Chains A and B, each alone.
Chain A
Amino acid sequence: MAVIEIKNVAKRFGEYQALQDINLTIEDQEFMVLLGASGCGKSTLLRIICGLETATEGEVWIGGKRVDHLPPKDRGISMVFQNYAVFPHLTVFENIAFGLRMKKLPDDEVTRRVERTAGLMHIDQLLQRYSGELSGGQRQRVAVARALAMEPDVILMDEPLSNLDALLRMEMRAELKGVLAESNTTAIYVTHDQVEAMSMADRISVMHKGEIVQAASPIEVYRNPAAEFVAGFIGNPPMNFLPAAPAGSGQWHVAGQVIEGPQVDRALRFAVRPEDVRPAETGLTAVARIVEPLGAHLLVTCDIEGEMFRAVLDSDLAIRSGDKLILAPQPDRVRWFDPETTKAVA
């Protein structure tokens, strides 16, 4: 049983506020993905959880026990480092066996676990090599195997697949997910890659500038982003925004069109995903600027009253740059944000 609770954690490096107000509970055996732009504090949060860094404020609990003052080895975790940290003076075998040897496991158990995890990561042919003789992606898999071999309660992975080619990454992703589900491990997984986040996560925590903006299931994060940042960060292409002016009693003026929305009396921003609009008789009036055929779809970047607006349309449509389009948003997919707080408005 390893629930991870992070309570009011903040971290300052001198003047610089790297993390603030982090409150997050990761359930036992949950697969939590931390998603966020470079420099938003993902690695710092992982390092605080595993004990390589101490939080300036707040508490970390693992399995119902406060661990802030425990050294990393007593927290029941293992970690895949962003920079791998594969020991250069040890063979792949000894690298994977490192933690097991520290635990003084019997030799046959060490061999069994090393071979099993190396097999999972497809590096069983490389066991006698040194890290200097491996490619970046192979080294990364050694780092993952080393963490898996510990069979920990909690595994922290900092972009563990970032260096693999698309095909291998997809395979490893599935493999990793399977192994972790089987072994009842609680996992925190850092990535930049939203496809990876979507496909692997039980829940995604989106981080922005040292804060967690939203922690929810992938579909929830995608459909109901809690803030403009999430809406703009997740989805490719990201969500479209247009200014909206109140027209009274839940009606809103958006690009000359009246659309039903929330009952508040200040300016809001209207938002809709590019794939949630369709050409129709009535709707938002747009002028196509760039038309990019993507095979299955047509990505049209248009102009609506001076704002950029992207639409993913059927590839059969014959649209050319300069064409005038009427785009109707799917009503149940429209979202509203408060431009002051950038938070979603129900």
Chain B
Amino acid sequence: MNARVLPYVLIAPVTLFLCVFFLYPFFLVAQQAFTTGNGFTMDNFREVVSYWKFPISLRNTFLLALAVVPVQLALSLLMATMVNNMKRGRDLVLYVWTIPLGISDLAAGIIWLAIFEQSGFLNSMLYGLGVVDQPASFLSYQNMTVVFIAIMLAEIWRATAIMLVIIVAGIGLIPKEYYEAAEVFGASPWKRFVKITLPLLRPSLQTALILRVVLAFEVFAVVAALGGSIFPVLMEQIYENQFNLQNGGTAAALALIVLAISISFTLVILRALRVPKGATI
């Protein structure tokens, strides 16, 4: 076959797949968001943004992402470094740490609910140890901080592994010789981490952070299980609009807002962790 045509023929199936299952639905959602009964309009956006729960859910989503992602980043770097320095049992530890990845987020939320609810493990334990006189209701309006911490813990437990896996792979790719050179030229272990590991890990960090940040803005099931309606987040608002209020237009508008947030953060991460021009990593 003609060498100029062949590449296009080869990518045609993928292109078709992407168009049918990604681009087309995206256009449908966009159309839904920007129309009501009569042509182009921003009404849907105006409506969702002016709803009283919108600022709260926006704030909650951001707060959660801000609280969770840095902790996960630090944790996964620490865990990856540990795994990488292990001589034996490395695979076993990695498997154990990635188990939460195989659990659906709703199930994860329910597991942590079982710990924190009034008749849950934490209460039984505190009661059994005599720390409290009667089981406390942690996950309530009165205890917003506890609710937040419970959600944070559940999210960290559930989704750190996804960053870990990417970072372990990335660290494994850094040649040992750079560490040896750095060591000979006087870099302490911490300096080696900062001056060699982190810069050479930039591509992996980009991927891991983008993936994790985008997922953080989509947080839903864990929050629903632990916080219910007392801790509204953006995704929960989409669900609310689509299924309880039966308003596809506002749900679509919210979805586009989440998309816009995700894209902006992706761009910020790409820019912040970019590899300088000419450097080959």
Which A residues are in CB contact (< 8 Å) with B280?
88, 130-132
On whether the beta carbons of B186 and A73 are closer than 8 Å, the reply is yes
On whether the beta carbons of A102 and B186 are closer than 8 Å, the reply is yes
In which size bucket is the chain A interface? 20 to 34
On whether the beta carbons of B184 and A89 are closer than 8 Å, the reply is no
Which B residues are in CB contact (< 8 Å) with A89?
199-200, 202, 275-276, 279, 281
On whether the beta carbons of A78 and B177 are closer than 8 Å, the reply is no
Closest B-chain residue to A73, C-beta based? B186
Contact flags B178-200 to A (C-beta < 8 A → 1, else 0) = 10111111110001000110011
Known: A71-B183, A73-B183, A88-B280. A83 touches B177 (CB 8 A): yes
Query: For residues 148 through 188 of chain B, which have their beta carbon under 8 Å from a beta carbon of chain A?
Result: 175, 177-178, 180-187
Which A residues are in CB contact (< 8 Å) with B175?
85
Residue of A83, A89, A150 with most partner-chain B CB within 10 A: A89
Known: A81-B177, A130-B279. A72 touches B184 (CB 8 A): yes
On whether the beta carbons of B278 and A133 are closer than 8 Å, the reply is yes
A32 interfacial contact with B, CB 8 Å: no
Which B residues are in CB contact (< 8 Å) with A71?
183
On whether the beta carbons of A88 and B184 are closer than 8 Å, the reply is no
Which A residues are in CB contact (< 8 Å) with B199?
89
Residue of A79, A130, A146 with most partner-chain B CB within 10 A: A130
Least Cβ–Cβ distance between B235 and chain A, in angstroms: 37
Least Cβ–Cβ distance between B35 and chain A, in angstroms: 49
Least Cβ–Cβ distance between A91 and chain B, in angstroms: 8
Closest A-chain residue to B180, C-beta based? A52
On whether the beta carbons of B180 and A85 are closer than 8 Å, the reply is yes
Least Cβ–Cβ distance between B273 and chain A, in angstroms: 12
Which B residues are in CB contact (< 8 Å) with A146?
185
Query: For residues 185 through 223 of chain B, which have their beta carbon under 8 Å from a beta carbon of chain A?
Result: 185-187, 191, 195-196, 199-200, 202
Closest A-chain residue to B199, C-beta based? A89
Least Cβ–Cβ distance between B87 and chain A, in angstroms: 14
Least Cβ–Cβ distance between B92 and chain A, in angstroms: 23
Question: Which of A78, A81, A88 makes the CB contact (< 8 A) with B180?
Answer: A81
On whether the beta carbons of A72 and B178 are closer than 8 Å, the reply is no
- Compute how far the CA of A174 lies from the CA of B199 in the bound complex, rounded to whole angstroms: 37
Question: Which of B182, B183, B195, B281 makes the CB contact (< 8 A) with A88?
Answer: B281
On whether the beta carbons of A88 and B185 are closer than 8 Å, the reply is no
On whether the beta carbons of B281 and A73 are closer than 8 Å, the reply is no
Residue of B180, B195, B199, B280 with most partner-chain A CB within 10 A: B180
Number of residues of chain B lying within 8 A (CB) of chain A: 23
A87 interfacial contact with B, CB 8 Å: yes
A98 interfacial contact with B, CB 8 Å: yes
Query: For residues 231 through 281 of chain B, which have their beta carbon under 8 Å from a beta carbon of chain A?
Result: 275-276, 278-281
Least Cβ–Cβ distance between B278 and chain A, in angstroms: 4
- Compute how far the CA of A49 lies from the CA of B191 in the bound complex, rounded to whole angstroms: 23
On whether the beta carbons of B278 and A99 are closer than 8 Å, the reply is no
On whether the beta carbons of A52 and B183 are closer than 8 Å, the reply is yes
Known: A81-B177, A87-B196, A102-B187. A132 touches B182 (CB 8 A): no
On whether the beta carbons of B182 and A98 are closer than 8 Å, the reply is yes
Least Cβ–Cβ distance between A165 and chain B, in angstroms: 24
Contact flags A85-107 to B (C-beta < 8 A → 1, else 0) = 10111100000001100110000
A77 interfacial contact with B, CB 8 Å: yes
On whether the beta carbons of B178 and A87 are closer than 8 Å, the reply is yes
Which A residues are in CB contact (< 8 Å) with B181?
79, 81, 85, 87
- Compute how far the CA of A132 lies from the CA of B200 in the bound complex, rounded to whole angstroms: 13
Closest A-chain residue to B280, C-beta based? A132
Known: A87-B178, A87-B196, A89-B200. A79 touches B184 (CB 8 A): yes
Least Cβ–Cβ distance between A131 and chain B, in angstroms: 7
Least Cβ–Cβ distance between A77 and chain B, in angstroms: 7
Which A residues are in CB contact (< 8 Å) with B191?
102
Question: Which of B178, B185, B196, B279 makes the CB contact (< 8 A) with A73?
Answer: B185
On whether the beta carbons of A98 and B185 are closer than 8 Å, the reply is yes
- Compute how far the CA of A73 lies from the CA of B186 in the bound complex, rounded to whole angstroms: 5
A324 interfacial contact with B, CB 8 Å: no
- Compute how far the CA of A155 lies from the CA of B275 in the bound complex, rounded to whole angstroms: 32
On whether the beta carbons of A78 and B185 are closer than 8 Å, the reply is yes
Contact flags A3-29 to B (C-beta < 8 A → 1, else 0) = 000000000000000000000000000
A129 interfacial contact with B, CB 8 Å: yes
Which A residues are in CB contact (< 8 Å) with B279?
88-90, 130-132
A50 interfacial contact with B, CB 8 Å: yes
- Compute how far the CA of A52 lies from the CA of B183 in the bound complex, rounded to whole angstroms: 8
Which B residues are in CB contact (< 8 Å) with A50?
184
Closest B-chain residue to A47, C-beta based? B180
Least Cβ–Cβ distance between A146 and chain B, in angstroms: 7
Closest B-chain residue to A149, C-beta based? B185
On whether the beta carbons of B278 and A132 are closer than 8 Å, the reply is yes
Residue of B185, B196, B276, B278 with most partner-chain A CB within 10 A: B185
Which B residues are in CB contact (< 8 Å) with A131?
279-280
Query: For residues 244 through 294 of chain A, which have their beta carbon under 8 Å from a beta carbon of chain B?
Result: none
Question: Which of A78, A79, A85, A99 makes the CB contact (< 8 A) with B178?
Answer: A85
- Compute how far the CA of A73 lies from the CA of B181 in the bound complex, rounded to whole angstroms: 10
Closest A-chain residue to B200, C-beta based? A89
Given contacts A89-B281, A102-B185, 7 further A-B contacts (CB under 8 A): A73-B183, A79-B184, A87-B178, A87-B196, A89-B275, A98-B185, A132-B279
Please name 25 pairs of A and B residues whose Cβ atoms are closer than 8 Å in the assembled complex, sorted by A.
A51-B184, A77-B184, A79-B184, A85-B175, A85-B180, A87-B178, A87-B181, A88-B281, A89-B199, A89-B202, A89-B275, A89-B276, A89-B279, A98-B182, A98-B185, A98-B187, A98-B195, A99-B186, A102-B187, A102-B191, A103-B186, A130-B276, A130-B278, A131-B279, A133-B278
